[in-house]
Amino acid sequence: MAEGATRETALREAEAACLRRGATLTPLRRQVLELVLDSEAPVGAYALLDRLKASRPGAAPPTVYRALDFLLENGLVHKLERLNAYVGCTDAGHAHGHDHHHHPHQFLICRTCGATTEITDHAVTHAIDAAARRAGFALAQATVEIEGTCARCLAA
Amino acid sequence: MAEGATRETALREAEAACLRRGATLTPLRRQVLELVLDSEAPVGAYALLDRLKASRPGAAPPTVYRALDFLLENGLVHKLERLNAYVGCTDAGHAHGHDHHHHPHQFLICRTCGATTEITDHAVTHAIDAAARRAGFALAQATVEIEGTCARCLAA
DNA sequence: GGGTTGATGATATAATATCCCAAGGTGCCG
DNA sequence: CGGCACCTTGGGATATTATATCATCAACCC
């Protein structure tokens, strides 16, 4: 995120995805999405709320949580459970391949710089599917959050 | 958990593990561990606190969080990030194979009955290791939480 | 005794998330 | 037009999860 071009692309794709799904990307929701996309690292709900207040003084926790719920539902952002923070979905256009909004994905979270990378590793996905199947477990969604040190911080 | 024999075994192994590690399983820590082991499903910190108060009226949030921190450090319990809840580690004796306390593991969480199963699937572990390596990422710890419906609830 | 360390007690506060009710807007249908 | 259903937002209160801080106490070492 954060390189200008990507942000605009992501926003355009978000609007297209909502259109396809019959969902409405209202100004408020779009603004929260912009705030998430503008963050380098995962961003907490209350940090979003603070920034939102600059243009909407009346904003309260439910304001941002409702918008986040919508964005999560529609696969436009993801939540990092270990951090209680949110990131934009960078798997541009995944909706083409998936009717459902929860495409399989994993995160690499750097403990040093906080940067978070979304990946879609099919070997991981398959191994998890297989493990669930072996346990007779019907998988709905898998959370994979890998913590460590990113390549850039290792170099430094 | 929760079948009598397992509980006692787990407690004995916990004491042995602490001994090996030079850590002290004090009465308080042991009691919190018992409370976690006695729960069928993952249990929240404040639920533990309520139960703890029965025998320790003065207990406060830090009381239980400090005990949980110790138990997490020593690999005796795990935290489920999606649920903000805690379970006993059922990988009995993993400390024999791992000097460090964070042995690789995954969870299967049933949305219907809440039951949570810890598994250690080497294919998943390897796939994650490989994905991290490919990204030049030094893995410290991976959180894998698989949500869905367990075999028993599927049958019903 | 004096000093250090580790564990606990106790109060307060921070950070994250949800509930509830009301108000406005939009479209649909009679 | 009027009424109704639906979705979205406003706004306040509250619930839930987690940490900060300072004091106390016991064990141990020298």
Stretch(es) of chain B classified as CATH 1.10.10.10: 1-99
Q: Is the pLDDT of residue B28 over 80?
A: yes
Cα separation, A74 vs B92, whole angstroms: 40
- Provide the CA B123 distance to its chain's centre, in angstroms: 21
Interchain CB distance below 8 Å, A142 and B143: no
| Mean of per-residue pLDDT scores for chain A | 92
Q: Is the pLDDT of residue A5 over 80?
A: no
The three-class DSSP label of residue A117 is strand
- Computed over its alpha carbons, how large is the radius of gyration of chain A? 16
Cα separation, A108 vs A127, whole angstroms: 18
Query: What's the pLDDT tens digit per position in B1-15?
Result: 556 678 999 999 999
Say what the pLDDT of residue A155 is.
96
Which of B30, B32, B72, B33 has its CA nearest to residue B54? B32
Phi, psi of A118 (to 5 degrees): -90, 130
With pLDDT > 90 as the criterion, what percentage of chain A qualifies? 85
Chain A residues touching B144 at Cβ < 8 A: 128, 142-144
Query: Which is more confidently placed, B40 or B142?
Result: B142
Asked if B91 contacts B120 with a C-beta cutoff of 8 angstroms, the reply is: yes
**Matching residue, tokens 């995962």:** A42
**Residue B92 CB-density burial (10 A; 0-12 exposed, 13-18 middle, 19+ buried):** middle
Homologous superfamily in CATH for domain A104-156: Ferric-uptake regulator, C-terminal dimerisarion domain (3.30.1490.190)
Query: What's the whole-number mean pLDDT along residues B83-93?
Result: 88
CB A23 within 7 Å, strand D: yes
Greatest CA span in chain A, whole angstroms? 52
Query: What's the pLDDT tens digit per position in A67-114?
Result: 999 999 999 999 999 999 999 998 766 555 454 567 899 999 999 999
Asked if A41 contacts A116 with a C-beta cutoff of 8 angstroms, the reply is: yes
Tokens, residue B124: 């998943």
Asked if B75 contacts B101 with a C-beta cutoff of 8 angstroms, the reply is: yes
Residue B23 contacts A, CB cutoff 8 Å: no
| Mean of per-residue pLDDT scores for chain B | 92
Tokens, residue B139: 């893995």
Residues 6+ apart with CB under 8 A from B66: none
Identify which of A110, A128, A137 has the shortest CB distance to residue B150: A137
Residues 6+ apart with CB under 8 A from A124: A106, A144, B124, B127, B128, B131
Say what the pLDDT of residue B4 is.
65
Stretch(es) of chain B classified as CATH 3.30.1490.190: 104-156
Q: Is the pLDDT of residue B146 over 70?
A: yes
With pLDDT > 90 as the criterion, what percentage of chain B qualifies? 85
Query: What's the pLDDT tens digit per position in B101-123?
Result: 678 999 999 999 999 999 999 99
Residue B145 contacts A, CB cutoff 8 Å: yes
Cα separation, A149 vs B9, whole angstroms: 37
CB A44 within 7 Å, strand C: yes
User: In this structure, what DSSP letter does residue A148 have?
Assistant: E
**Matching residue, tokens 């025998």:** B55
Query: What's the whole-number mean pLDDT along residues A8-24?
Result: 92
Chain A closest CA to B118's CA: distance in Å? 11
Q: Which residues of A119-138 are buried (b: 16+ CB within 10 A; e: fewer)?
A: bebeebbebbeebbeebebb
pLDDT band for position B91 (cuts 50, 70, 90): confident
Tokens, residue A91: 């798997």
Does an H or E element contain A155, and which?
Answer: helix A151-155
Q: What CATH architecture does domain A1-99 belong to?
A: Orthogonal Bundle (1.10)
